[in-house]
Every structure is written in C-alpha cells, then in structure tokens.
C-alpha cells in the first residue's frame, strides 16, 4: 500500500486540529468550558477516525479535473456570493431563510452552465463500488460513534441543552412531526444538500485550489462552510439565546469536521452524487 508523505500527513493533522480549535473557541464562551471541551473531544475523535478511513481507502491520487477557464474571476464570483448570501442578506433581510440554503448552489450552477463546463466540472460521475463501500463504512462509523458517545456522556450542564442531550454527539434528523408535509420536507432537505455540495465543494473548493495547495483549499472551504453556517444565525440573533438556541451552536460546530471530510471525498473522487450520499448518510447525525 502506498503511504502518504510524512510532511503531508503532518500538515493535514495540524490543520484538522486548528479548525477544531476554531470551533472550540466559538462554543466555549457560549456554552461553557465543559460543554465545549466535550464537544471538541468527541468531534475530533470522530473526524480523525473517519478521515483516516477515507485517506486509507479512497484513491491516493486526486481526481481528474476539467481545466478552470477563468480561475480568478470565477473564484471572485464564488466569494462574492458567500459575502452576499451569508453576511449581507441576513443583515438586510433580518434572517437567512431559503436564500442562505439554496442561492449559493444556484449561483454555482448558473456560473458552470454559463461557462459551458462539462460533466466532470459538475461532478456528474457515479461513484465506483469501492467508493460506495468507503462511504458506507465512514457513515456507519460516524453515526455509530455519535450515538455511542451520546449515550455514554452525562447530561448537559447548560439549562437550554438539558432536555436535548445527547446533542453533541447524537442529534439525528427527526421527521416525526412532518406529517402530511413529509414529502416537501424531504425535497427541501435534498435540494439543500445538493446546493451546499455544489457550492462549497464542487465550485468553491475547486477554484480555491487554483490559488492554494490542494489540502489548504480543502480546509479553506471547510472554514467557509462553518462560517456560512454560523454567521447568519449570529447576525440575526445578535447573541440572544431565545432567537439563536444554544443547541444549534453545537450543530454548526460539527460542520467543521463535515466540511473537512466532504472536501476530502470531493478532492479524491470528483463525484457529486457521492458527496450528496455522504451528506445524507454521515452528516444526518447533525440534522444537515
């Protein structure tokens, strides 16, 4: 088996810890020392195990890419979309709403379509059997460890989280209250997942890789993914826990590790369907 270079492995490990520490810094003042440390430790463990599995059994070489026609302008389009939909829009509209979930993905799709990119640039490649097996193992480990530690860890010390523990880890999607609206809810979830993956991984990460080394581009999009989840909530709530439930802080914190894992899958496979399946199966423990 071909082993990665030591310096590359060290870089990846350092960047993972840095990103997780960023999440710890955000959650510490909001949730307190114990809750933040508990979340940091468990999420770092889950990310380490799942990332190791992906790194060992996905292809060592990066997936082939279609040439980016206008690297600079296209990257600026993606970053401008981030500023508009994740920062400006919540300020102006007083909330995120569907715009935050769907508009960035639509922006990415329109740009790809306008510049007439082919199937590879869209990630329209069905994953191989090996890639699906790796996905299944990663999803099983992520959800299994989440449920395991969710059952073992003591109740939360944060009053607003006490009735929702286990939250980090252990939160799963709950459609029990959807009733007749179940199908529309599932459609919205699916479109949201496709939009997230199309924007952050397929479009943004690929163009970040034009100006940054591949692994740095991966972590840059993961940080943007986390920021895009947190900023609209913080802007709208202005720190008021009645508007921005503390429970959601931990959910967003986990998006750091989700972004790292999804970014690695995209870098090595170039398959959008695989990303969507990864999001729906492995990230279901955090809602999205």
pLDDT tens-digit map of 193-242: 999 999 999 999 999 999 987 778 988 998 899 888 777 777 776 656 55
Report the C-alpha gap between 219 and 257 in whole angstroms.
10
Determine the average pLDDT of the residues in 138-146: 88
Kindly report, residue by residue over 74-130, the tens digit of the pLDDT.
Answer: 999 999 999 999 988 888 876 667 778 889 999 999 999 999 999 999 999 999 999
Q: What count of other Cβ atoms lies within 10 Å of the Cβ of residue 83?
A: 10
Q: Of 271, 66, 245, 222, nearest to 167 (Cα)?
A: 245
* pTM across the whole model: 0.86
Residue with tokens 């401008």: 80
d(CA 260, CA 257): 5
Give, in order, the Cα–Cα distances in Å from 160 to each of 12, 154, 165, 248, 255: 35, 15, 10, 11, 21
* The pLDDT of residue 165 is above 60: no
DSSP the chain: -PPPPHHHHHHHHHHHHHHHHHHHHHHHHHH-HHHHHHHHHHHHHHHHHHHHHHHHHS-SSPPP-PPPSSHHHHHHHHHHHHHIIIIIHHHHHSS-HHHHHHHHHHHHHHHHHHTT--HHHHT--PPPHHHHHHHHHHHHHHHHHHHHHHHHSPPPSSHHHHTT-S-TTT-----TTTGGGHHHHHHHHHHHHHHHIIIIIIIIIHHHTTTS-HHHHHHHHHHHHHHHHHHHHHHHHTT-TTTS-HHHHHHHHHHHHHHHHHHHHHHHH--HHHHHHHHHHHGGGG--
Which class for 137: exposed (0-12), middle (13-18), buried (19 or more C-beta within 10 A)? middle
Boundaries of every domain in the chain:
6-286
CA distance 132 to 38: 31
Q: For 253-270, what is the mean pLDDT?
A: 86
What percentage of the chain reaches a pLDDT higher than 90? Answer: 35
Q: Which tokens sit at 288?
A: 């999205």
Q: Among 153, 136, 140, which Cα is nearest to 265's? A: 136
Q: What is the pLDDT of residues 174-184, one digit of tens each?
A: 555 555 666 77
8 Å CB contact between 135 and 274: yes
**pLDDT for position 9:** 55
């Amino acid at each position: 088996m071909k082993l990665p270079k030591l310096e590359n492995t060290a870089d990846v490990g350092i960047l993972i810890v840095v990103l997780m520490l960023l999440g710890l810094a955000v959650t510490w003042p909001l949730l307190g020392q114990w809750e933040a440390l508990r979340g940091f430790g468990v999420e770092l463990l889950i990310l380490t195990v799942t990332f190791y599995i992906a790194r060992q059994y996905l292809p060592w070489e990066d997936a082939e890419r279609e040439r980016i026609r206008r690297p600079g302008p296209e990257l600026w389009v993606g970053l401008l979309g981030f500023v508009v939909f994740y920062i400006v829009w919540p300020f102006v509209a007083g909330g995120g709403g569907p715009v935050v979930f769907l508009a960035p993905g639509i922006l990415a799709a329109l740009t790809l379509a306008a510049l007439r990119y082919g199937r590879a640039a869209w990630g329209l490649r069905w994953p191989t059997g090996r890639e699906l097996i790796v996905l299944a193992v990663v999803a099983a480990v992520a959800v299994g460890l989440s449920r395991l530690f969710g059952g073992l860890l003591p109740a939360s010390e944060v009053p607003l989280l006490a009735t929702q523990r286990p939250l980090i880890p252990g939160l799963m999607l709950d459609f029990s209250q959807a009733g007749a609206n179940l199908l529309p809810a599932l459609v919205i979830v699916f479109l949201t997942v496709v939009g997230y993956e199309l924007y952050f991984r397929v479009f943004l990460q690929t163009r970040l890789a034009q100006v940054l080394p591949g692994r740095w581009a991966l972590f840059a999009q993961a940080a943007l993914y986390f920021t895009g989840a947190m900023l609209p909530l913080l802007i709208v709530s202005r720190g008021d826990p009645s508007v921005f439930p503390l429970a959601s802080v931990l959910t967003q914190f986990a998006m750091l590790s989700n972004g790292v894992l999804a970014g690695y899958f995209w870098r090595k496979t170039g398959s959008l369907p695989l990303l969507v399946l990864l999001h729906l199966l492995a990230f279901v423990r955090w809602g999205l």
